[in-house]
Structure 1
Amino acid sequence: MQTLPVHLDLFALIMLLGVAQGLFLGVFFLTGERSRNVANRCLGFFMLGISTIITEILLCYTNYMFQVLWLIDFSEPANFTVGPLYFFYVFARIHRRLPRGWRWHLVPFGIWLLNSITWFYQPIEHKYNAYIHAYHPELSYVRSLDYMPTDFTHLRDYVSEITLLSCLIYGIWACVVVWKAYRRAGDTFVGKSSVQLNQLRNLTLLNISLSWLIIIIKPQFYEDLGDYILACYITGIIYITSYLVMRGSNFYRDEILPEPLVVDPETLGEPKKKYEKSALSEELEDAVLTKLTQLLKTEKPYLDSDLSLPKLANRLSTSPHHLSQLLNDRLGQNFFDWLATHRIAEAKFLLCDPATAYLKIDEIAERVGYNSTSAFHTAFKRLTNQTPAQYRAKGMGQGA
């Protein structure tokens, strides 16, 4: 069997960086508190899936696949996870749950995974022929006595077309979900809405553009020789996602520390209000309160499990200190009481709504933003003097 030396260039470096960053993001979203969020889990698995695909393309492009021929086509089943997993991410990001019957969307992946046994369990000569057929058609085939018939589905010759169709269908479906979210917010798809919704739209358009790139690239190259261009584009998507993750982080933001208390001897003993020296005028307070009210109607930010005072303040274009003042002065609550009030109100609705009667208590807790079921029970009992189960039983009884 003739082999070729390892080939490294700028494209290989870009793909290598994409694999490394994709694996990092995948592990990042699937570990820690982040993994409690269903959208994060979908994005994590999506990142691992596309990293697997880029890895095989990198091995083939650099000729390193000659050294590990047993890995040939190992990422092929992952082709059927890219479309569904990204759609799951978009759907869960907006609705905070997976679509009903989501397991059926992964049936093609399961079938292809089973089908992969028929080409993984083949002699090395068979794998060599498969590799040079796709990437080095100038080389000569070697004789191979296959152990078993390959591809019981008889669809492997059309795997690129099927992958394209899958990505296109799920990409359009994800766009429709985002478009409906814009409609509910009273905005147009091309207009400006919340930062998170705009980011989700832009990321979705980048992903669906991959389908059009496949349509353009594939006819220009024999077999899989143009896959490195697609891999570099996917690397770009990975790094844009990384940028959006860092952009939404509070790590680099200045923490607002309390000013030192200065005691004036002339006014010693006179009570002072907590925000007496605040620069937040009544007009500005009204404007922030209006934005908060609108945000509650359109996005329900309190359902985000990782919502914090600085994150909410950032979405309202104000400071955490000013937002805390507004909640205390106008609503008579601190941030955590305000957050619990809205989450429990949403939970009360879900507990009594016939459409969500199938949900378990812990599922409702997750939907309304609680990572801990015990924390949900504690907050619910404190605000309603009932447990969630008691409230549901009472609500269902009245409905009957």
Structure 2
Amino acid sequence: MQTLPIHLDLFALVILLGVAQGLFLGVFFLTGERRKSLANRCLGLFTLAISSISGEIFLNYTNYTFRVLWMGDFAEPFNFVLGPLFYFFVYSRLWKRLPRYWQWHLVPFAIWLVNAVTWFYQPIEFKYNSYIDSQHPELPFIHSKPYIEEDFTGLRPYINELTLLSCLIYAILALITLQRASRQKTSGQAIFGFTSLRLLSWLFALVPVLIVVVKPQFYRDVGDFLLATYVSLTIYTMSYLVMRGSHFFQDDPLTESPITEPDVPAEPKKKYEKSALSEELEEAVLTRLNRLLDAEKPYLESDLSLPKLADRLNTSPHNLSQLLNDRLGMTFFDWLATHRIAEARRLLNDPVTTNLKIDEIAERVGYNSPSAFHTAFKRLTNQTPAQFRNQLASTR
């Protein structure tokens, strides 16, 4: 078997760095507290899948596939999971759940995964011929007899067209979902990170466009390196959005220890007595908080925290905590529970949502744990959610 030397250039470097960053993001979203979010799990699986595809393109582009022929086309089935996973990510980020009958969206991936056995279980000579046919048609083929018949579906010659169709369908579904959510923004639905979701959706929508532009310009799959370069740039954009939302790089306000005279006991201080938060600043932050509540209802986000809310109000967590204590007379967690339970009561009383299960309502108002929702509801209303719903039903 004739081989070619390793080929490295700027495109190869960009693709390789994108693969590494994508794998890192995938692990990041699927570990720690982040994995509790359904949207994070979908995004983590999406980045792992797209990194696998880019990794295969990197091996082909650099000729490294000659050294690992046994891995030939290992990522091809993932072409049919990219669209569904991205759509699941957008949908779950907006509505905290997967779309109905979501399992059916994965049927093409399952079929292609089974079909993959017909080219995975082949002699190395067969895989060599497949590789040079798609990447280096100038090289001579070698005689090879397959173990089993390749491609029992007969669809593999249309892999590019089917991938284009899959990405196009799910890009449209994601954009439609965003459009519907945008219309409901003023009616009380929480849309956290809407701008970032829209940006990522349009970036994904460009993939089928690029396939249409790139594929006809190259023989077989040799133009895939341009698609992989674009994917890498998209992964870098995702990384930037993740870092932009992180509080790691923000300085926490330093608190100075009070200096007291010797042998004179320190006078007890109120919790926020030494805070520099003026009355004018309190009013400004409170105004921004009320506007945010009216526009986005951030308390419906399951991962909302005091630092995240403070960041969106352009203040520090310490100042926001003081504001909630001084002006509203409650801690952040009391404030969060109060608004969530008020929204839950509205949903339980709304004829449009009366068919929802209690656990579904708990998820909609930001609770990952149904037991935590029941505890908070009972504490604030002296009733369980079921008792509240039954009482409403008896008065109608």
* TM over 0.5, shorter chain: yes
Alignment of 1:203 with 2:203, yes or no, is no
TM-score after normalising by structure 1: 0.88
Instruction: Kindly state the Cα deviation for residue 363 of structure 1 after the two structures are TM-superposed.
Output: 4.7
- Measured at CA, do residues 257 and 279 of structure 1 come closer, stay the same or move farther in structure 2, by a change above 3 Å? closer
Partner of 2:236: 239
Instruction: Kindly state the Cα deviation for residue 85 of structure 1 after the two structures are TM-superposed.
Output: 0.9
Q: Deviations over 1:127-160 (max 9, x none)?
A: 1111111001001112222233222322211111
Question: Is the 2:94–2:191 Cα contact (8 Å) retained in structure 1?
Answer: no
Q: Deviations over 1:347-383 (max 9, x none)?
A: 3344565665666555544433334444333322222
Equivalent residue letter for 1:291: R
- Distance in 2 (CA, whole Å) between partners of 1:361 and 1:29 is 28
SS class of match (1:138): coil
- Distance in 2 (CA, whole Å) between partners of 1:354 and 1:115 is 47
Alignment of 1:325 with 2:330, yes or no, is no
- Distance in 2 (CA, whole Å) between partners of 1:133 and 1:319 is 60
Question: Is the 2:260–2:266 Cα contact (8 Å) retained in structure 1?
Answer: no
Question: Is the 1:295–1:301 Cα contact (8 Å) retained in structure 2?
Answer: yes
1:1-400 superposed matches below 5 A: 1-185=1-185, 196-261=193-258, 275=272, 280-351=277-348, 361-396=358-393, 398=395
Instruction: Kindly state the Cα deviation for residue 176 of structure 1 after the two structures are TM-superposed.
Output: 2.5
When the two chains are superposed, the root-mean-square deviation of aligned CA atoms in Å is 2.8
- Distance in 1 (CA, whole Å) between partners of 2:103 and 2:222 is 33
Question: Is the 1:3–1:66 Cα contact (8 Å) retained in structure 2?
Answer: yes
Question: Is the 1:184–1:298 Cα contact (8 Å) retained in structure 2?
Answer: no
- Distance in 2 (CA, whole Å) between partners of 1:261 and 1:353 is 53
TM-score after normalising by structure 2: 0.88
Q: Paired residues, what number?
A: 391
Equivalent residue letter for 1:121: Y
- Measured at CA, do residues 269 and 250 of structure 1 come closer, stay the same or move farther in structure 2, by a change above 3 Å? closer
SS class of match (1:317): coil
- Measured at CA, do residues 343 and 244 of structure 1 come closer, stay the same or move farther in structure 2, by a change above 3 Å? same
SS class of match (2:148): coil
- Distance in 2 (CA, whole Å) between partners of 1:295 and 1:368 is 16
SS class of match (2:149): coil
- Distance in 2 (CA, whole Å) between partners of 1:295 and 1:34 is 24
Which one is further off, 61-70 or 250-259?
A: 250-259
Question: Is the 1:195–1:315 Cα contact (8 Å) retained in structure 2?
Answer: no
Identity across aligned pairs (percent)? Answer: 65
Instruction: Kindly state the Cα deviation for residue 331 of structure 1 after the two structures are TM-superposed.
Output: 2.1
Equivalent residue letter for 2:93: R
Q: Deviations over 1:148-191 (max 9, x none)?
A: 322232221111111112112211222222233333346xxxxx
- Measured at CA, do residues 386 and 93 of structure 1 come closer, stay the same or move farther in structure 2, by a change above 3 Å? same
Runs of 4+ in structure 1 deviating by more than 6 angstroms, as ranges, are: 268-273
Question: Is the 2:21–2:235 Cα contact (8 Å) retained in structure 1?
Answer: yes
Q: Deviations over 1:301-353 (max 9, x none)?
A: 11222211121111122232332233223322121100111222233344565
Question: Is the 1:7–1:62 Cα contact (8 Å) retained in structure 2?
Answer: yes
Instruction: Kindly state the Cα deviation for residue 48 of structure 1 after the two structures are TM-superposed.
Output: 0.7
- Distance in 2 (CA, whole Å) between partners of 1:282 and 1:313 is 17
SS class of match (1:151): coil
- Measured at CA, do residues 194 and 392 of structure 1 come closer, stay the same or move farther in structure 2, by a change above 3 Å? closer
Instruction: Kindly state the Cα deviation for residue 88 of structure 1 after the two structures are TM-superposed.
Output: 1.2
Which one is further off, 311-320 or 382-391?
A: 382-391
- Measured at CA, do residues 88 and 77 of structure 1 come closer, stay the same or move farther in structure 2, by a change above 3 Å? same
SS class of match (1:260): coil
- Distance in 2 (CA, whole Å) between partners of 1:24 and 1:259 is 38
Question: Is the 1:6–1:64 Cα contact (8 Å) retained in structure 2?
Answer: yes
Which structure 1 segments of 5+ residues have no match? 187-192
Equivalent residue letter for 2:379: R
- Distance in 2 (CA, whole Å) between partners of 1:393 and 1:153 is 54
Question: Is the 2:94–2:192 Cα contact (8 Å) retained in structure 1?
Answer: no
SS class of match (1:222): coil
Equivalent residue letter for 1:208: A
- Measured at CA, do residues 353 and 294 of structure 1 come closer, stay the same or move farther in structure 2, by a change above 3 Å? same
- Distance in 2 (CA, whole Å) between partners of 1:81 and 1:166 is 9
- Measured at CA, do residues 3 and 391 of structure 1 come closer, stay the same or move farther in structure 2, by a change above 3 Å? same
- Distance in 1 (CA, whole Å) between partners of 2:320 and 2:256 is 17
- Distance in 2 (CA, whole Å) between partners of 1:87 and 1:231 is 20
Instruction: Kindly state the Cα deviation for residue 392 of structure 1 after the two structures are TM-superposed.
Output: 4.3
Equivalent residue letter for 1:292: L
